[in-house]
Amino acid sequence: MNKSANPFRPGAGHTPPYLAGREAEKRIFERLLRQEVVTENLVLSGLRGSGKTVLLDSLKHLAMEQGWLWTGTDINESASIDEANLATRLCADLAIKTSSIVVSEKQTLAPGFTSESRTLRQGLGFEALKSVFAETPGLPLDKLKAAVEFGWNALESSGSGIRGIIFAYDEAQNLSDHAEKDRFPLTLLLDAFQSMQRKGLPLMLALAGLPTLYPKLVDSRTYAERMFRSVFLESLSEPETRDAILKPIEGNDQITLGNETAGAIVRMSGGYPYFIQFICREVYDAFTIRLDKGRKGRVPVREIEEKLDSDFFSGRWSRATDRQRELLSVIASLEHCENEFGVSEIVEKSKEASVRPFSASNVSQMLTALAAQGLLYRNRFGKHTFAVPLFGAFIRRQAERV
């Protein structure tokens, strides 16, 4: 890479120039890879911008190095409409790994005026797996298990020496049952893998998503608590954040960031990987421009905050009504708003604010509505948390601009 090129990449899911931290999470996953019989699967959850997608991609490389096949994709809502859609998704992902395996051969005459024959080989692709699914009697669960087991048996018989298959799905919070429509795709997924793992098949799930994912799994099947190892991605520590800031520009003779600058970025980013990349990209460009003009580099804090507010936060803020924004402003005034908060403390804080106070029933109803909009989520202890990191600081900035 050109040393003068900006190395920082704040795009969604883009691998950073240096992946800082996450060693504990990698060790947990490596332990799961060493299971003789798969009894635990992985759930990787965290707020937006905490680096779930990037970490999941790095786990893929760890798994492949240890002889596992890795398949999967992002889960969109269409895959979770019903059991048939989810089964199609799984068969399509498995077929990517099995399509090169020949399951039948047939001799036919070559085209043209010749008596020569040719061999037609049929691979175990998507259509073959779907045929197994369709022709297996029973419920969708029986059909899906038959198709996946058929694919695994073919892989095992091929002599490839693979240890197993990991089905990895990002944005897995989109998986949902729909009891009102008698559709249970999430339950199907859990039942299928729990059953196949009990039979000793080396098939593992690796699911990544927002913090609502793990409670949703447990609500669907209580045994999910024993079926998954849940890992929540916190923000990076200060030393890890400094590594993420400074490692990518080591050896750069033009741009250097001192301790004061790095400390400012640590504070602004809160240690969240997306914000580290976003802020560092802006700082790098600002330093480059000022150095070109013969000036000393500085961190343009206000300009970066305004750009971050516009690019990342504003779209989410616009979903809230005026009254909901008043409630969010009350929450943002709590000292620990970036951690978790409950109804009673919001009610008490609203009595000190310059807005019409909220009753407990008002707060409960509005928290539910804000969670449905993706601005908050309810944790397993009955408390709520912002679904977006540093959202409280953004809300306070909004109040200052009024």
The answer for residues whose C-beta is within 8 angstroms of residue 295's C-beta and 6 or more apart is: none
Q: At what angle do helices 23-33 and 52-65 cross, to 10 degrees?
A: 40
SS (H, E, C) the chain: CCCCCCCCCCCCCCCCCCCCCCHHHHHHHHHHHCCCCCCCEEEEECCCCCCHHHHHHHHHHHHHHCCEEEEEEECCHHHHCCHHHHHHHHHHHHHHHHCCCEEEEEEEECCCCCCCEEEEEEECCHHHHHHHHHHCCCCHHHHHHHHHHHHHHHHHHCCCCCCEEEEEEECHHHCCCEHHHCECHHHHHHHHHHHHHHCCCCEEEEEEECCCHHHHHHHHCCCHHHHEEEEECCCCCHHHHHHHHHHHHCCCCCCCCCHHHHHHHHHHHCCCHHHHHHHHHHHHHHHHHHHHCCCCCCCCHHHHHHHHHHHHHHHHHCCCCHHHHHHHHHHHCCCCCCCCECHHHHHHHHCCCCCCCCCHHHHHHHHHHHHHCCCEEECCCCCEEECCCCHHHHHHHHHHHC
- Residue 363's closest CA among 396, 328, 399, 317? 328
CATH fold for the domain made of 317-401: Arc Repressor Mutant, subunit A (1.10.10)
pLDDT over 90, % of the chain: 57
Domains in the chain: boundaries: 23-232, 238-315, 317-401
Range picked from 10-14, 155-159, 182-186 for highest mean pLDDT: 182-186
Tell me what the mean pLDDT of segment 22-28 comes to. 95
pTM listed for this prediction: 0.86
- Confidence at 105, pLDDT banded by 50, 70, 90: very low
Q: What pLDDT shows up at residue 311?
A: 86
pLDDT single digits (tens) 267-281: 999 999 999 999 999
Chain segment 59-68, per-residue pLDDT in tens: 999 999 999 9
| pLDDT tens sequence across 296-335 | 667 788 889 899 889 889 888 998 999 999 999 999 999 8
User: Hey, what CATH class is 23-232 in?
Assistant: alpha beta
Between these two residues, 233 and 253, which has the higher pLDDT value? 233
